[in-house]
A and B are shown apart, each in its own frame.
Chain A
Amino acid sequence: MDSSVKIINEWDIVAARQLGRNVAKELGFGTVDQARITTAISELARNIYLYAGQGEITIEKVENGAKKGLTIISCDEGPGIPDLRKVMEDGFSTSGGLGAGLPGVKRLMDEFSIESTPGEGTLIKSVKWLR
């Protein structure tokens, strides 16, 4: 079961994190991991809203052998990120301190990957495994 939320305005950020929290609860994540997942979604959705204008957050349940987890996919067709290494540095921001940035999201989740093409958009996938 996959579900997604289109991010167009600030209310969609709330909808995306509620969806993520519900799926995390369903999968049996504890309160700390639920907070990590909810926060990561909030940051990714806000990045879409601030930088790309619009995009989509998709929440997927994943299984890898005996492991179960949750994947957050953040996808937009915004301007893209010209220097990926730079945005993965702590404290780098182009929006005057809004958003803790991608390093924070990476720390909250277990796996993190990013693809971005200037002028075409950004795709971020991150996974949290159930312990």
Chain B
Amino acid sequence: MNMRIPILKLHDCLLISIQWELDDQTALQFQEDLLHKIHETSARGVVIDFTSIDFIDSFIAKVLGDVISMSKLMGAKVVITGIQPAVAITLIELGIRLEEVMTALDLEKGLEKLQRELGD
């Protein structure tokens, strides 16, 4: 039951929409898949959308923070979008701060932000 999260390519960006609750293995598999995909496609930007996700625990947050740093090492900028109010509240109460991470309200604004960051 190891499901893989689809990674779509759009010009020089990768788009990911997390559609179901992440278990540990799926999250770790995603980390690896995304880095391979960045390498394969020479993507310069990544948008990860969390609109359908209703909670993020410390493990998922750690995997997410790590994959953002890893992507940066490979020259790709990551924007996370669609964080729900309940997710934002619980992450901060839990004591997790993803402060260096670029965020936007939704996918559209995330893509705009990324285009500005990439300068085209």
**What residues make up the interface of A, taking CB atoms closer than 8 Å to B?**
10-11, 13-14, 17-18, 31-32, 34-36, 38-39, 42-43, 46, 90-91, 97-101, 103-105, 107-108
In the complex, per-residue mask of B58-92: 1 if CB is within 8 Å of any chain A CB, else 0: 11011000000000000000000000111101100
Question: Which of B1, B85, B86, B94 is close to A100, meaning CB atoms less than 8 Å apart?
Answer: B94
Nearest residue in A to B87 (C-beta to C-beta)? A35
Question: Hey, which chain B residues are within 8 Å of A100, CB to CB?
Answer: 57-58, 61, 94-96
A contact face: mostly helix, strand, loop, or mixed: helix
| Contacts A32-B86, A34-B54; A90 near B95 (Cβ below 8 A) | yes
Q: How far is the CA of A1 from the CA of B25 in the complex (A)?
A: 32
Question: Which of B23, B55, B85 is close to A39, meaning CB atoms less than 8 Å apart?
Answer: B55
Query: Is residue B108 within 8 Å, beta carbon to beta carbon, of the partner chain?
Result: no
**What residues make up the interface of B, taking CB atoms closer than 8 Å to A?**
1, 21, 23-25, 54-59, 61-62, 84-87, 89-90, 93-96
B contact face: mostly helix, strand, loop, or mixed: helix
Q: How far is the CA of A11 from the CA of B22 in the complex (A)?
A: 11
Q: Which of the listed residues B1, B59, B85 has the most CB atoms from chain A within 10 Å of its own CB? A: B59
Instruction: Tell whether, in the assembled complex, residue A98 and residue B54 are in contact, meaning their CB atoms are under 8 Å apart.
Output: no
| Contacts A32-B86, A32-B89, A97-B62; A38 near B55 (Cβ below 8 A) | yes
| Contacts A39-B94, A104-B94, A107-B94; A10 near B57 (Cβ below 8 A) | no
Instruction: Tell whether, in the assembled complex, residue A38 and residue B54 are in contact, meaning their CB atoms are under 8 Å apart.
Output: yes
Could you list some 22 contacts between A and B, CB below 8 A? A10-B23, A10-B24, A11-B1, A14-B21, A32-B86, A32-B89, A32-B90, A39-B90, A39-B94, A42-B55, A42-B59, A46-B57, A46-B58, A91-B95, A98-B58, A98-B62, A100-B58, A100-B95, A107-B94, A108-B90, A108-B93, A108-B94
